[in-house]
Amino acid sequence: MTIHPVHPDHAIAAIQPVVLVGGKATRFGRDKLREPWRDGLLVQRPIDALRAVFGPRVALVGDCDPSLLPLADGVIPDHHPGVGPIGGVISALAHTNTAVFIAAGDMPAIDTPTIHALVSAYSTQPGAWAVMACDPSPHPTLAIYRAEALTTLRDKLACDKRALHSALPAGRVVLVPCDPRALSNVNSQSDVR
């Protein structure tokens, strides 16, 4: 069976954009997603970046403060709370039964060129189960996961292997070099300053 590339515009229409919001922010000391960030909240930055590419259909995955829910366009229940990003990715894939573009809620510098680079790679690599940003380390919480990845991710979680960056076979992951500034995330209060 031959798998053919898809046009990036068709890929955009077929991918569900998702922001992961279920982290506990233990290193930060409080709910970092509600931290003021320029003209809004920290979590608003990845939501806005995804909306700029995908339109008003960005969903949140994970338990978060209820005040954040209206910032997005929908919510996907997290059926694996407390296990880290792998639980959010599994929940999103299972809920949508299609490809998902995952962005962590604490990535304020994500930009449209980075999103377009991942969508372009996704469009030209139809055999990849995941297309991840890298700098050169992989960033599994800024990635596109195809529905085909779901079974393997569930198997890894069942074996208590929660490391999302190594959950899929290397031959099924495409790494896309990106500007490290676009991949930065907020882990501590000093990152906000």
What ranges make up the beta strands (E) of the chain? 16-20, 36-37, 40-41, 59-61, 74-76, 100-104, 130-134, 138-145, 173-177
Supply the pLDDT for residue 64: 76
Tally of CA atoms within 13 A in the half-sphere of 119 that contains its CB: 22
Q: Which amino acid is at 41?
A: L
Three-state helix/strand/coil letters over 125-175: CCCCCEEEEECCCEEEEEEEECHHHHHHHHHHHHCCCCCHHHCCCHHHEEE
Supply the pLDDT for residue 26: 46
Q: What is the pLDDT of residues 48-72, one digit of tens each?
A: 999 999 999 999 998 877 888 888 9
Supply the pLDDT for residue 126: 94
Supply the pLDDT for residue 25: 46
For 12-27, b/e burial (b = at least 16 CB within 10 A) is beebbbbbbbbbebee
The stretches in the chain having pLDDT less than 70 are 1-8, 22-37, 186-193
Supply the pLDDT for residue 1: 45
Supply the pLDDT for residue 177: 97
Q: Domains in the chain and their CATH numbers?
A: 8-192 (3.90.550.10)
